[in-house]
């Protein structure tokens, strides 16, 4: 399967389905910086010194076109590590998006440019550009290990990482889950209940009188 085909399948399945099918879920604090942002693309890990974004600037120059920067900024999240300037540079390099466990700014411009960004917060203060970091090496971001070869899927429901050695298995599990849900939707419209379809034990729930 080509990269374009993989991206299309992952985008259609979405983060929620993939997160129940073997993908690694990022915590809820990692969410779209602007409404409608979505991405499905290979990951490019970045690690910054807290409060500094030099590694991000370098990553924009070294990441393969079509990839998503996935960035750890350590224990200083409340900086604008990313904004309109870096977005313009990233677009010119053909990058697909950004996932960062920290702050971004210039959100209106990011939305206008259509660049998918998922962040932990929005922050005004800028970052320094002088400290050590790493790009293209395995990094832990929001508690999730991220390596080159992994894929990132982000949408309105959140962000997941699909490890490179589980791409096919996760995709297959996601497709099976999606197909099963199609059957659930049809059955529910015909009058079935989720209790019946999922084989839930309703006997342990106390139900009061209904007037």
CATH number at residue 32: 3.50.30.40
Distance from C-alpha of 74 to C-alpha of 59, rounded to nearest angstrom: 17
Distances (CA, A) of 33 to 11, 23, 91, 104, 158: 18, 22, 17, 8, 11
Residue 114's domain spans which residues?
3-169
Examine residue 146 and state whether it is found in any structural domain, yes or no: yes
Examine residue 191 and state whether it is found in any structural domain, yes or no: no
Q: What is the bridge-based pairing of β-strands 117-122 and 97-104?
A: parallel
Examine residue 98 and state whether it is found in any structural domain, yes or no: yes
| SS3 category, 58 | helix
DSSP string, 150-189: BEEEEETTEEEEE-GGGHHHHHHHHHHHHHHHHHHHHHHH
pLDDT given at position 211: 73
Number of domains the chain contains: 1
Examine residue 189 and state whether it is found in any structural domain, yes or no: no
pLDDT given at position 67: 98
Rounded average pLDDT per 10-residue block, the chain, 211 residues: 96 98 98 98 98 98 98 97 98 98 98 98 98 98 98 98 98 97 96 96 93 73
Examine residue 186 and state whether it is found in any structural domain, yes or no: no
């Amino acid at each position: 399967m080509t990269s374009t085909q993989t991206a299309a399948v992952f985008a259609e399945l979405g983060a929620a389905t993939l997160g129940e099918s073997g993908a690694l879920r990022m915590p809820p604090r990692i969410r779209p910086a602007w409404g409608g942002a979505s991405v499905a693309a290979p990951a490019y890990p970045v690690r910054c010194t807290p409060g500094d974004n030099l590694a991000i600037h370098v990553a924009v120059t070294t990441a393969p076109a079509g990839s998503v920067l996935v960035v750890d900024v350590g224990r200083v999240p409340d900086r604008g590590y990313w904004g309109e300037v870096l977005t313009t540079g990233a677009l010119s390099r053909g990058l697909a998006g950004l996932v960062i466990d920290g702050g971004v700014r210039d959100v209106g411009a990011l939305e206008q440019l259509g660049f998918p960004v998922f962040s932990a917060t929005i922050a005004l203060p800028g970052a320094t550009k002088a400290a050590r970091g790493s790009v293209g090496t395995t990094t832990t971001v929001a508690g999730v290990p991220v390596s080159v070869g992994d894929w990132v899927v982000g949408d309105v429901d959140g962000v997941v990482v699909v490890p490179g050695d589980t791409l096919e298995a996760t995709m297959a599990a996601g497709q099976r889950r999606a197909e099963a849900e199609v059957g659930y939707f049809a059955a529910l419209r015909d009058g079935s209940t989720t209790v019946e379809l999922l084989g839930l034990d309703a006997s342990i729930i106390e139900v009061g009188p209904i007037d």
